[in-house]
Amino acid sequence: MFSRTLHHLDPRRTFGRARVFMFVRPVQEFIQTESASAVLLIIAAAVALIWANSPWNHEYERLLDANISIDLAIWAVEGTLHFWINEVAMVLFFFVLGLEIKREITIGELSNPRVMAAPIAGAIGGMLLPLAIFLLIAQGPEARDGWAIPMATDVAFALGIATLFASRVPIGLRAMLLTFVIVDDIGTVFVVAVFYSSDIQVLQVIMTCALVALMLVLYRLGVRSMIVFATVGLVAWGTILESGIHPTTLGAVLGFLTPWRPPMSLDGFVRTARRLLDRFSTGGQSPESPLGHDQVVDALLGLSDLSSKAVPHVDRLEHQLHPWVAFLVIPAFALANAGVQFDPQGVSEAFSSSVTWGVIVGLVVGKPFGLMGATWIAVKLGAQLPEGVTWQGIWAIGLVAGIGFTIALFVADLAYADEELLRHSKIGILAAFAIAGPMGFIGFLLLPRIPRHIRASLLTEASEPTRKP
């Protein structure tokens, strides 16, 4: 059956449809995973808050301060559990982030800048206005060190809420939301790399760049072993750890530099797979000679290797790593960083702090108005909104963009060495989440339902087998 189907596939005619499917399928899987991850993220954050404010809060602190060391004789790393989560596990998070950015820029939502002008402008406005609001509200140079906190949007929560209202969110609006969060992620990576790195050690930076260049050379020379690249990447992590640049920057860079072209083209895959499948077809070269066991295994292994070569490295790595990041790394990060202790006096002090209000107003007010205003200006200058997208839908996106949970907590941890300012910023992030979450929920709920006959999925259309001419 599959052999006959493949015979009717014209590689040239199929390429356009497969290209659409190659983009839509990963995006749909990405959004579905983020939706489930958002639930786990809420649970992890709730556990952290309850634990940190329980009689067993010392156990919570003891867990995060537990010392973990790895000694390989020639190289050793030692740190607390909090260090391993924030400085090591989050590198994997930023690596997947880099993969997503690479895919969007090459074949995804950001591959056509003219079409994406409006959402890109909106995303920039959604970063700059919260930044400006925070700087206006925060009092004092040390307090203003957290200026990048309200710039961030939590991908998991934003996409998760949008997924709950799939019957009200057209494809064009989903594409805009995905573009917003991707551009927001690019801004976050840039800010962390440039503004939240200190005491730069030039020699270590040069060594890190040399190791990254070595990985590119090895790939050009035909090396495909993940063990080799993981080993070189681990050494690069060790050098950047001592360079003064935050190690998550390396993860994002390596993800972005991952090749997006598969080793084998779609045309080549179809032709070669057709020859292999002919061995199982009664229309093959020798129908009267049934295949032996070794021949069957050899053909199946050939198909397996062939399909592996036809999948872009960006998609393969993202498919393999994204569940680990979504269901392990991000919840672990929330568990380690959301444990803010609340006491009446501490909460009262937090809500009298300019840092807390800078974060809250920046996220809850700055995000929707910045995003909406910049998008409106872009449209007035000639940009076009995707089909089916209304200003009401863009406002709903702006509301949900005010949830800056994961990345906001991450930036806060980098920005403040002072425990009091850090606690105030985290309370502001949690308060903004408590406000922006329900507002975004209501914003999507008020969108009109998409008529049933228009609700056909692009994935279904792309994945249908090509019919006989």
pLDDT score, position 124 = 93
Buried b (16+ CB within 10 A) or exposed e, 184-201: bbbbbbebbbeebbeeee
Q: Which residue has the higher pLDDT, 93 or 13?
A: 93
Element (H, E) at 363: none
pLDDT at 59 over 80: yes
Cβ–Cβ under 8 Å, residues 247 and 88: yes
Quote the Cα angle for 432-139-123, to 5°: 45
pLDDT score, position 5 = 41
Nearest to 440 by CA among 411, 408, 397, 409: 397
pLDDT score, position 371 = 94
pLDDT at 191 over 80: yes
Confidence band for 295, pLDDT divided at 50, 70 and 90: low
What's the CA gap between 129 and 50, in Å, rounded?
A: 33
% residues pLDDT > 70 (the chain):
77
The residue whose two tokens read 């569940």 is 323
Cβ–Cβ under 8 Å, residues 245 and 197: yes
pLDDT score, position 161 = 78
What's the CA gap between 261 and 425, in Å, rounded?
A: 42
For residue 379, CA distances in Å to 149, 220, 387, 428 come to 28, 42, 14, 33
Q: Which residue has the higher pLDDT, 158 or 238?
A: 238
The identity of residue 34, as a single letter, is E
pLDDT tens for residues 83-134? Answer: 898 888 888 888 887 887 787 777 765 676 666 788 889 999 999 999 999 9
DSSP code, position 456 = -
Give backbone dihedrals phi and psi of 70, rounded to 5 degrees, phi first: -125, 120
Quote the Cα angle for 153-42-389, to 5°: 40
Highest mean pLDDT among 28-32, 121-125, 465-469: 121-125
Lowest mean pLDDT of 55-59, 259-263, 274-278, 399-403, name the range. 274-278
